[in-house]
Amino acid sequence: MGDEQNPFLPIANVGRIMKQILPPSAKVSKEAKETMQECVTEFISFVTSEASDKCRKGSRKTICGDDICWALGAVGLDNYAQAIIRYLHKYRVAALNQRKATTSSFEDKDEESDRSGEPSHQDDETTTPQ
């Protein structure tokens, strides 16, 4: 099993997250980072396994955010599940607003082209010279 990949999150990322929580003067030992790295990996595996089982029973192949929230509740982490549900809702609203803004921006540009008298290239077909 020499080609097995390291299943852990990068230790630099784990250390950075830990330092964000601690007071600025706090130091984190390499051993503490490695221990947290193992814990985080185990946590992710545990929750993902629960979500995967749910998807498999529902004949689905893709785990979504709602499955993760369900899995957190299923393993007794209801407080985390509720926090993630709130985050997921905000994320989806922001993504929807971003898509609407992008779509609106393209529509505004098309309307400006129409008003300027220049042809809109929206329905142009690309042809190659023969």
Q: What is the CATH number of domain 11-114?
A: 1.10.20.10
Q: With a cut of 50, say whether residue 14 has pLDDT above it.
A: yes
pLDDT in tens, 75-111: 999 999 999 999 999 999 999 999 988 887 766 666 6
- Predicted confidence at residue 127, as pLDDT, reads 44
Cα–Cα nearest to 44, from 68, 21, 79, 73 = 68
State how far the Cα of 31 lies from the Cα of 12, in Å rounded to an integer: 13
- Predicted confidence at residue 7, as pLDDT, reads 82
Q: With a cut of 50, say whether residue 130 has pLDDT above it.
A: no
